[in-house]
Amino acid sequence: MTAVKINLGPMLNAYPDSLGGTLSDAVAFLQEKEVKGAFSSFYILPSLFNTDLDRGFSVIDYGINGVIAKEEDLEALQSMGIDLKLDFILNHLSVQSPQFQDLVEKGDASAYKDFFIDWNKFWEGCGDLDEEGVLVPRQEYIKDMFFRKPGLPVLVVEFADGTKRPYWNTFYQQVDVDENGKKHYLGQMDLNIKSPLVLDFYQQTLKALAGYGAKIVRLDAFAYAPKEVGAKNFLNDPGTWDFLQQITDMAQPYGVALLPEIHASYEEGTYKIIAQKGYMVYDFFLPGLVLDAFEQKSGEKLAAWANEILQSGMKTVNMLGCHDGIPVLDLKGLLPEERIQSLIDTLVKRGGFVKDLHGAKNVYYQVNATYYSALGEDDRRMLLARALQLFMPGKPQVWYLDLFAGKNDYAAMERAGAGGHKEINRTNLSKEAMAAALEKPVVQRQLELLKLRADCPVFQEGAAITVKAEGSILTMAWEKGGQIAALKADLADASFTLTVVDEATGKEVYSMKQ
């Protein structure tokens, strides 16, 4: 793809209502004297749009959700010099979307009759109908298929004329029945990427996101979108890459960089394919590697990954925590199996919850926990983890709860009920809680480091970066524009020294020690 220049400054990551209750409150937070200048980008999660399920990832339309955000908020961010990263959920739209509602109302007379994937039509001739009228494909056609949840990925929907049809539904669904026996549907309905109307919808959405101020568009669930009879229907090859090129061609006029989002083990090498095709890579390896480095008191694996990024020229967006769990599936092939399991056991002892892969037992995927709790709620480790992230190559993304040293929220999990484990790391903070947290040294010092990363001339594209590990000692350095920024950390006790030195004079222009 054509390269789009992205600033390497820190990027805040939050829901629009995470910091005070509305996006206006988040904008005000970014303007506080303690915070101003720490972030040059903001990844706002998709409840920014009109959505109805999965905390924003079931989009009704890409208009702004007026309850918690206004377009003036986005304009305010642009005026502050803060660009955006926004989600584009390629695989699906909500049942409540205008397109699906038109289909339910008009049936085959709808202009959107081919906008979504009629399950029975897709698999016609490949199986037999069950008692609910759902075509069950013969094993030969689905033996290699990747299932995101138990059972067939369908939602049977009743149309206005009383007929029922199953539609492809890879992710979440919810069916409620009112007192009159009428069914009400929620669900993320898969899009038919072979429909010209879907392709036009993609084009218009990319235009809208760029108009909001997006410089990075995260392509959520892109690997599920291309589908073929008999294929795995997750990361189909070459279908996935052909599809990604289509989206790239659409995005080019709007000057946005695309960040394909996918969880896959290191040993599969999917991240390499994405990088070789010129896309940014979401560094899902870093969170686990930093945790492992502390537990093993060794920076060897972390340094090896940093040097692989540098040697390959890979462009990354990295993180510690995020709205999902701490990735562990991704570490397969990067860490020995026994070390991954040991890390999982440690995180569980610290209050985390293991999310297994698509409901399968003993096939780990993520651990749901705040990063601060995963670190043992240790301020020294939290500050060093942030310093390590900021010295890694790539663009650092900062989950808001990590910044505030947020602890596991078990009450939120209980309120969410079954399947609500992700809420452990999604606490919405009140203005009072934020003000109190800004008094904490671990928060203040993180902000100090973030401002350094945002302002210091050495942290720029083209810097010479070196990373070395020897026992528990890890050293990282950036050199550019007559300055050297160096971090020397001891993973055994979380002590570190960070300095920025003017090369010409040898004068130290910044230092932090722990």
How are beta strands 127-129 and 135-137 bridged, if at all? Answer: antiparallel
Q: Let me know how many helices (H) and strands (E) the chain has, helices first.
A: 17, 25
Burial code (b: 16+ CB inside 10 Å, e: under 16) for 421-453 equals: bbbbbbbbbeeeebeebbeeebbebbbebbbbb
| Upstream peptide bond of 98 is cis (omega within 30 degrees of 0) | no
Active site residue 261: yes
Catalytic residue among 261, 283, 330, 409: 261
- Distance from C-alpha of 28 to C-alpha of 462, rounded to nearest angstrom: 33
Q: What angle do CA 321, 324, 329 make, to 5 degrees?
A: 90
Contact (Cβ atoms closer than 8 angstroms) between residue 73 and residue 24: yes
220 noted as active-site residue: yes
Sheet holding 364-368, edge to edge: 326-327, 364-368, 353-356
DSSP 3-state of 34 = coil
Closest CA to 397 of 7, 37, 9, 6: 9
Beta-strand runs (E) in 122-209? 127-129, 135-137, 154-158, 164-168, 173-177, 183-190
- Kindly name the residue from 17, 83, 87, 220 that is annotated as catalytic: 220
Neighbours of 365 (CB within 10 A): 18
d(CA 237, CA 293): 35
- 3-state SS assignment for residue 8: coil
Active site residues: 220, 261
